[in-house]
Amino acid sequence: MHHRSTWKNRWTFMLATAGSAIGLGNIWKLPYMIGVNGGSAFVLVFIACIFLVGIPLMMTEILLGRRAQKNPYDGMLKLAQEAQVSHYWKYLGGMGMLTGLLILGFYSVIGGWVLSYIIEAAKNSFSNITAAQSSANFDGLLASPVKLLFWHTVFMCMTMGVVARGVNSGLEKANNILIPALFAILLVLLGYSMSVGDMQTAYQFMFKLDFSKITPVAVLSALGHAFFSLSLGMGAVMVYGSYLQRHVSIARTTIYIALADTALGLLVGLAIYALVFANHLAPNAGPGLIFQTLPIAFGHMPWGSFTGTLFFMLVAFAAWTSAISLVEPAIAWITENTLIKRRTAAWAIGVVVWLLGVAVVLSFNEWKDIKIIFGLNIFETLDKLTSTILLPLGGLLMAVFAGYYMKRDHVQDELDLKATAFKLWRIANNIIAPIAIAAVFLYLFGVIK
Ligand code: PHE
């Protein structure tokens, strides 16, 4: 019989879920999205989305997982049966597993960029680098399919190697040290940025309230990124929740994770933008932003090669733990439904995702001009499709299921909240989150203006 493992205690669950949440989304994606979407307007909406939609829905996803005690597909089926509603809800779980694989297709390529920067930092290649040289280096990396492919392959092997061995024997112990270490080194970076960078402009850029700058596209991206950053809407948190013991408080755990995740992203943003403005770089440089700016800091600070190496290693680690959670739902489904061994499942899925990654690699060079939809190339299409559509859609459906289909007692049983807190969660889950997501979708499809 298949044996389901559980987390040793709440702390390991929290670190594993934080490990899933904290990743390239905070360090690579949030900073450049802030710049692309006009700074503070985006930050403000993003924070609102985390509190009004992200936190309540993270609780929802954990509660679904813990009640189901299964992978997302069978879990949704079981919960639907328990609530005596259509078995079609299982496809929500199926959609999540697929979404995870689509995300990993590009996540692994960016993870590869980070790996290659570890080596560059260790070789002291950033020493006294200028902004122009740094950008040229990054462009050189993107222009080389061979390099990108090599590092994408290494990242995929690292990810699948751990997944093949199973979640408990994986990285939870390392999480214990490395996530706090990531915070620590970030503070060092922030301190450096504060002393040499233009922190005041960065602060204004990120936090000055200016409602007039909020655009519909910024709202859409901010909502999507709240899902991406907290790993919501595709079943990763649900699977981790399914390994969680019964007595642990879901609400408290969620709030800690969401706060740590959001704080980390915003701190990286500040550190980056102080450097961007001090070096007269463009804030809207796009996906290359941190790879173009951080080498300038590491290239000029004392102990820069050492600090830079350590920094990129910790980022790679954070990306690694997130990548694992992107495939875990699919692997859990295969191992719980077939006789296929975890190891075989992991390598088979790995090959499929690796191939997707190859297409992403080429979309940065050889296939740059191949547009899939709305003038987006392969990388951009995967990114937008998952963050702005699939994750929010998954979240919307989970909220509707927990709010309107599950028996209220069952929900309360899992959340175990005091009356007022439960009411607040219900308002957020049943009303605010679905309306916010639906409104954004309607806008997206041009139904309302
Ligand atoms: N939250 C991860 C990050 O910020 C990415 C992720 C998204 C992981 C969805 C799992 C599920 O990097």
Q: Could you please report the per-residue DSSP string of 386-449?
A: IIIIIHHHHHHHHHHIIIIIS-HHHHHHHH---HHHHHHHHIIIIIIHHHHHHHHHHHHTTS--
Between CA 255 and CA 20 the distance in angstroms is 15
For residue 132, how many other CB atoms are within 10 A of its CB? Answer: 11
Q: What average pLDDT does the segment 2-26 reach? A: 77
Q: What average pLDDT does the segment 105-114 reach? A: 98
Residue nearest to atom 9 of ligand 1 (CA): 231
pLDDT band at 249 (very low <50, low <70, confident <90, very high): confident
Which residue type occupies 34?
I
Residue 21 Cα to ligand 1 midpoint, Å, equals: 5
| Residue 442 in tokens | 């309607």
Which residue, among 397, 368, 384, has the nearest Cα to 217 in the 3D structure?
384
Confidence (pLDDT) at 1: 36
Confidence (pLDDT) at 10: 67
Residue 101 Cα to ligand 1 midpoint, Å, equals: 12
Higher pLDDT, residue 180 or 6: 180
79 lines ligand 1 (CB under 6 A): no
For residue 91, how many other CB atoms are within 10 A of its CB? Answer: 14
Atom number, ligand 1, closest to the C-alpha of residue 230: 1
265 lines ligand 1 (CB under 6 A): no
Confidence (pLDDT) at 2: 45
Residue 87 Cα to ligand 1 midpoint, Å, equals: 28
Between CA 235 and CA 404 the distance in angstroms is 19
The tens digit of pLDDT for each residue in 130-154 reads 999 999 999 999 999 999 999 999 9
| Percent of the residues in the chain that have a pLDDT greater than 90, as a whole number | 68
Most confident range (mean pLDDT) of 161-170, 222-231, 336-345 is 222-231
Q: What average pLDDT does the segment 228-252 reach? A: 89
Confidence (pLDDT) at 166: 77
CA angle 51, 227, 359 (to 5 degrees): 160
Between CA 60 and CA 67 the distance in angstroms is 11
Is the pLDDT confidence value at 170 over 80?
Answer: no
Residue 290 · residue 131 · CB < 8 Å: no
395 lines ligand 1 (CB under 6 A): no
21 lines ligand 1 (CB under 6 A): yes
Between CA 248 and CA 446 the distance in angstroms is 43
Which residue, among 374, 386, 364, has the nearest Cα to 104 in the 3D structure?
386
Coil/strand/helix, residue 376: strand
Between CA 374 and CA 376 the distance in angstroms is 5
Residue 297 · residue 192 · CB < 8 Å: yes
Choose one of 99, 110, 229, 262 to mutate for the ligand 1 pocket test, by most ligand atoms within 8 angstroms of C-beta: 229
pLDDT band at 5 (very low <50, low <70, confident <90, very high): low
Burial class of 291 by CB neighbour count within 10 A (0 to 12, 13 to 18, 19+): buried
For residue 245, how many other CB atoms are within 10 A of its CB? Answer: 12
326 lines ligand 1 (CB under 6 A): yes
26 lines ligand 1 (CB under 6 A): yes
Choose one of 26, 228, 262 to mutate for the ligand 1 pocket test, by most ligand atoms within 8 angstroms of C-beta: 228
159 lines ligand 1 (CB under 6 A): no
Is the pLDDT confidence value at 448 over 80?
Answer: no
Confidence (pLDDT) at 343: 92
Beta-bridge partner residues of 376: 373
E strand or H helix that includes residue 123: none
Confidence (pLDDT) at 171: 62
On whether the pTM is more than 0.85, the answer is: yes
Residue 165 backbone phi and psi in degrees, to 5: -90, -10
Residue 227 Cα to ligand 1 midpoint, Å, equals: 8
Is the pLDDT confidence value at 247 over 60?
Answer: yes
Confidence (pLDDT) at 65: 93
| Residue 107 in tokens | 């996540």
24 lines ligand 1 (CB under 6 A): yes
390 lines ligand 1 (CB under 6 A): no
CA angle 436, 263, 391 (to 5 degrees): 35
228 lines ligand 1 (CB under 6 A): yes
Is the pLDDT confidence value at 244 over 90?
Answer: no
Residue 17 · residue 253 · CB < 8 Å: yes
240 lines ligand 1 (CB under 6 A): no
Choose one of 22, 61, 326, 331 to mutate for the ligand 1 pocket test, by most ligand atoms within 8 angstroms of C-beta: 326
Atom number, ligand 1, closest to the C-alpha of residue 323: 8
Residue 151 Cα to ligand 1 midpoint, Å, equals: 20
Is the pLDDT confidence value at 274 over 80?
Answer: yes
Beta-bridge partner residues of 373: 376
Residue nearest to atom 4 of ligand 1 (CA): 25
User: Residue 374, by phi and psi: left (phi above 0), alpha (psi -120 to 50) or beta?
Assistant: left
Choose one of 113, 159, 231, 353 to mutate for the ligand 1 pocket test, by most ligand atoms within 8 angstroms of C-beta: 231
b (16+ CB within 10 A) / e for 376-395: ebbbbbbbbbbbbebbbbbb
Its CATH class, for the domain covering 10-444, is: mainly alpha
| Residue 413 in tokens | 């049983």
Q: Where is average pLDDT lowest: 207-211, 227-231, 444-448?
A: 444-448
Residue 75 · residue 123 · CB < 8 Å: no
pLDDT band at 90 (very low <50, low <70, confident <90, very high): very high
Confidence (pLDDT) at 52: 96
108 lines ligand 1 (CB under 6 A): no
| Percent of the residues in the chain that have a pLDDT greater than 70, as a whole number | 96
Q: How big is the chain by its Cα radius of gyration, in Å?
A: 21
Cα 431 from chain centre: 25
From the DSSP assignment, how many helices (H) and strands (E) are in the chain? Answer: 22, 0
330 lines ligand 1 (CB under 6 A): no
Atom number, ligand 1, closest to the C-alpha of residue 322: 8
SS3 content of the chain, % helix, strand, coil (to 5): 80, 0, 20
DSSP secondary structure letter of residue 373: B
